[in-house]
Amino acid sequence: MSGKVQVEMALNGEATEFLCEPRQSLLEVLRDVLGFTGSKEGCLTGDCGACSVVLDGRLVCSCLVLGPEAQGKAVETVEGMAKGNTLHPLQQKFLEHAALQCGICTPGFLVAAKVLLEKNPNPTEHEVRYALAGNLCRCTGYDKIVRAVLDAATVMQGR
Amino acid sequence: MHAITYDSPKSLAQALSLLATAGEKARVLAGGTDLIIQMRAGVRKPEQIVDLKAIAELQMIAFSPQDGLRLGAAVCCARITEDAVIKQHYPGLVEGAALIGSDQIQSRCSVGGNVCNGSPAADTTPALIALGAQCVISSARGTRTVPVEQMVTAPGRTVLQPDEILVEFRIAAPQGHSSDCYQRFIPRNEMDIAVVGVGAAVTVEGGKFTAVRIGLGAVAATPLLAKAAGDSLVGKSVSAESIAAAAVLAQQIATPITDMRGTAEYRKHLVGVLTRRVVTEAAARAKAK
């Protein structure tokens, strides 16, 4: 009863087709079908944000999206952030501030922070902490992540 | 997760036809922030998923001063919190919607799903009860309208039959000096489930309440309309005394349980505190109009 279905989406701007079982999440599709392993599996309940991706402009947990729901949609993952060998300013600042230790949460934080800075290019510390409340990190204590995001905002505004 | 089939009908008629055929084997999907987790945990095992997000009626936000708000059941909470018209007329509904989960969850979760998931602690339901929201429910057999306080019958259960879809909420336009407010208590700042949630919608004329509705969450098996508490304020002056008396009536209908989030006694206390706060705030907002 559950044959595979064909889905077409734009993945980081590139037209992409895949086959999946309807029960497979977008996260499973990205990692296991398409080999985009940047998005991580954490809790599988939408609490930790490690699987965060952008779906038609909105930040979502890809573990809570069924693969077929991506039909006709634009999906952006952490793999789309760097341009060739040039890191996105957020990635560069995460490195400079040592805003990661084990790294499992990092792709989700980067994607969530990118969405934040696109909506609000000059956030306060409070706004950064609020916007990243859906991403859990058990290593850093968050402080370095928040500083990296604020520093990236400054750089991206050319200040 | 168990094997499923997936359909994304483009029209309400198609969706109703799918449900009429599938019956209890099917379950409708909006944001999936409850359903997908429940399926993964084996709590719900539908064979067929009918995604409602491509149906225009379920994605509608429409407001007019005559007809009030028509809110599609699958509209995600992020759209509600971004909507200037809803913010202006129904700030309490926006407060409830904004409290559900993270930005990631807000992008997906819907008010319709919040009601249909049937949790006693749903954050938008007390706000909807306060606003007197009506639920428009369709099936291939026809359409009916149910007051939102009658939707949930037990934790996780609603009045919806297997072939029915909650299509939209209808909320009257605020008249005169009217406004609303929703607050919940949680032991941290964000990302938690209500220990108690209370919504209030009030109309104030010449310093007196002329209409008050109060909704309670997480203090009984289902969200509650605190009718006697609201009615007690009608004709009374907006004062700390009248509001405190209404809060006592709200406490009287609360039958909370003791669980990891709080004891029954604590929850009962919080009903009084939050009722006073939300009625006071809603009245201040109404007067400012």
Task: Give the distance, in angstroms, between the CA of residue B115 and the centroid of all CA atoms in the same chain.
Answer: 6
Which of B33, B51, B76 faces A64 most closely, judged by CB atoms? B33
- Touching check for B186 and chain A: CB below 8 Å? no
pLDDT digits (tens, 9 = 90+) for B244-287: 999 999 999 999 999 989 999 999 999 999 999 999 999 999 99
Sorted by where each begins, the domain ranges of chain A are 5-80, 89-156
Establish, for the pair of chains A and B, how many residue pairs have beta carbons separated by less than 8 Å.
Answer: 87
Alpha carbon distance B22, B16 (integer Å): 10
* Mean of pLDDT values over A60-82: 98
Q: Which fold has domain A5-80?
A: Ubiquitin-like (UB roll) (3.10.20)
Nearest-10 crossing angle of helices A89-96, A106-119? 130
B6 neighbourhood in chain A, CB within 8 Å: 5, 22, 66, 68-69
Q: Could you report how far apart the first and last alpha carbons of chain A are, in Å? A: 57
pLDDT, position B190: 76
Contact assessment for residue B200 and residue B92, using Cβ atoms and an 8 Å cutoff? yes
Q: What is the ipTM of this complex?
A: 0.96
Contact assessment for residue B121 and residue B217, using Cβ atoms and an 8 Å cutoff? yes
Structure tokens at B147: 């007051």
Burial (0-12, 13-18, 19+ Cβ within 10 Å), A131: buried
Alpha carbon distance B128, B104 (integer Å): 23
- Touching check for A130 and chain B: CB below 8 Å? yes
pLDDT, position B192: 86
Q: What is the CATH number of domain B56-171?
A: 3.30.465.10
Domains A5-80 and A89-156 share a fold: no
In DSSP notation, B69-113 reads EEEETT-BHHHHHH-HHHHHH-HHHHHHHHTSS-HHHHTT-BHHH
B51 neighbourhood in chain A, CB within 8 Å: 66, 68-69
pLDDT, position A17: 98
pLDDT digits (tens, 9 = 90+) for B2-21: 999 999 999 999 999 999 99
| Best CA proximity match to A47, nearest among B105, B215, B176, B227 | B105
pLDDT, position A1: 46
pLDDT, position A40: 98
Contact assessment for residue A94 and residue A151, using Cβ atoms and an 8 Å cutoff? no
pLDDT digits (tens, 9 = 90+) for B59-113: 999 999 999 999 999 999 999 999 999 999 999 999 999 999 999 999 999 999 9
* CA-CA-CA-CA dihedral for A139, A141, A143, A148, to nearest 10: 20
Which of A2, A63, A71 faces B4 most closely, judged by CB atoms? A2
* Mean of pLDDT values over A139-149: 96
Residue A146 has pLDDT above 60, yes or no: yes
A127 neighbourhood in chain B, CB within 8 Å: none
Structure tokens at B22: 């599938």
Sort residue A10 into left (φ over 0), alpha (ψ -120 to 50) or beta: beta
Chain B's closest residue to A49, CA to CA, is B104
pLDDT, position A159: 67
Best of A25, A59, A62, A137 to disrupt the B interface (most B CBs within 10 Å) is A59
The two beta strands, B48-51 and B5-7, are parallel
Output the 3-class SS for B123-159.
Answer: CHHHHHHHHCCEEEEEECCEEEEEEHHHCEEECCEEC
In DSSP notation, A49-103 reads -TTEEEETTEEEEGGGSBGGGGTT-EEE-GGGTSBTTBPPHHHHHHHHTT--SS-
Look at chain A and count its residues: 159
Task: Give the distance, in angstroms, between the CA of residue B59 and the centroid of all CA atoms in the same chain.
Answer: 17
B6–A46 C-beta distance less than 8 A = no
The residue written with tokens 């949790």 in the block is B119
Which of A21, A63, A133 faces B191 most closely, judged by CB atoms? A133
Q: What is the CATH number of domain B5-51?
A: 3.30.43.10
CA distance to partner chain B, nearest, from residue A139 (Å)? 19
Residue B36 has pLDDT above 50, yes or no: yes
Domain range B178-287, its CATH number among 3.80.10.10, 3.40.50.720, 3.30.390.50, 3.40.1710.10:
3.30.390.50
Q: What is the CATH number of domain A89-156?
A: 1.10.150.120
Sorted by where each begins, the domain ranges of chain B are 5-51, 56-171, 178-287
Contact assessment for residue B229 and residue B126, using Cβ atoms and an 8 Å cutoff? no
Vertex A59: Cα angle to B166 and B35 (nearest 5): 35
The CA-atom distances, in angstroms, between B231 and each of A70, B223, B226, B243 are 48, 18, 9, 11
pLDDT digits (tens, 9 = 90+) for B148-194: 999 999 999 999 999 999 999 999 999 999 999 999 999 887 788 89
Which of A5, A68, A134 faces B103 most closely, judged by CB atoms? A134
pLDDT digits (tens, 9 = 90+) for A35-54: 999 999 999 999 999 999 99
pLDDT, position B191: 80
Structure tokens at B285: 């907002």
